[in-house]
Amino acid sequence: MGNGKEFQGKWAVVTGGSRGIGHAIALDLAKNGANVSIVYLEHHGDADTTLKQLNALNIEAEKYQTDVSDHQRVQETFSTIIKNHGAIEILVNCAGINRDKSMSKLPLDLWQQVIDTNLTGAYNCIKATWDHMKEKQYGRVISISSIVGQAGNFGQVNYAASKSGLLGMTKSLALEGARNGITVNAICPGFINTDMVRGMPDDVLEKVIQRIPVGRLGTPEEVARAVSFLASPQSGFITGQVINVNGGQYM
């Protein structure tokens, strides 16, 4: 990353930026000079801590409690960011949830919640940024999908559908943005050491780790590195791509 200020003067929005992978993404962008707005839903304490850490990096940072599945609220939040700061150059769709049940036990509302947050949430955020990026003839859109969107996973029909959906959306949007200086890419993390994964029963987690060739969970920082790579102004010829950060678990 050269002099460490690759993103100087750029404004980034990271959804799900309060904790876990989104937290690490926000910090990595900021360490390299980006100003950052984080968007989150719950756990105000985590958002406060992240904001403090961002501010300590001598960049501009702010937080918004906005449900990404709420189209109107997302429009308002993103309009405010664009009005106050003049631009959003980098959008990272990282907000996500899982509500795991096998198909026989999966009610419509848990299907819908996951689709609304993980897939429609990304649509809402891109919709609120896209014409602005087109006008500026510059943009970097990166969505955090999952290995589960590629390979499937028992008990994650809703989650897998939302994450596969992000991949199709990414490739189609890459075509639409290509002549406008906008790149659109996705990252598929494998199993990363965050609260989402720590919530799994110990014996299940142990079995998961046994299937990872690298022999351990990934770290949020390892995902963040891939995001910063794609977010770079120098990555303009990389679009419509999916980068796997999974310790070799799916190739």
Positions annotated as catalytic residues are 159
Report if residue 77 touches ligand NAD, rule: CB under 6 A. no
Q: Contact, 125 vs 13, CB < 8 A? A: yes
CB of 160 to ligand NAD, least distance (A): 11
Asked if 48 interacts with ligand NAD (CB under 6 A), we say no
Residue 39 interacts with ligand NAD (CB under 6 A)?
A: yes
For residue 190, what are the contacts with CB-CB under 8 A and spacing of at least 6?
147, 212, 218, 244, 245, 246, 247, 249, 250
Confirm or reject binding of residue 247 to ligand NAD (CB under 6 A): no
Q: Report how far residue 208's alpha carbon sits from residue 238's, in angstroms, rounded to the nearest whole number.
A: 31
Out of 10, 13, 61, 67, point to the residue binding ligand NAD (CB under 6 A): 67
Q: Is residue 144 a contact point for ligand NAD (CB under 6 A)?
A: yes
Q: Which of 19, 63, 132, 140 binds ligand NAD (CB under 6 A)?
A: 19
Q: CB under 6 A: which stretch of 55-63, 67-75, 82-90, 228-236 binds ligand NAD?
A: 67-75
Residue 64 lies near ligand NAD (rule: CB under 6 A)? no
For the chain, give the number of residues.
251
The only residue of 97, 110, 114, 174 in contact with ligand NAD, by rule CB under 6 A = 97
Give CA–CA dist 225/204, Å, rounded: 28
At residue 197's C-alpha, the angle toward residues 192 and 203, to 5°, is: 115
| Among residues 32, 35, 117, 239, the one that binds ligand NAD under rule CB under 6 A | 117
Among 68, 125, 169, 243, binds ligand NAD (CB under 6 A): 68
**Judged by CB under 6 A, which stretch of 27-35, 170-178, 195-203, 228-236 contacts ligand NAD?**
195-203
Could you tell me the two tokens for 104? 């026989």
Burial letters 198-209, b for 16+ CB under 10 A, else e? eeeeeeebeebe
Q: Taking CB under 6 A as the rule, does residue 245 contact ligand NAD? A: no
Measured distance CA(150)–CA(251) in Å, rounded: 10
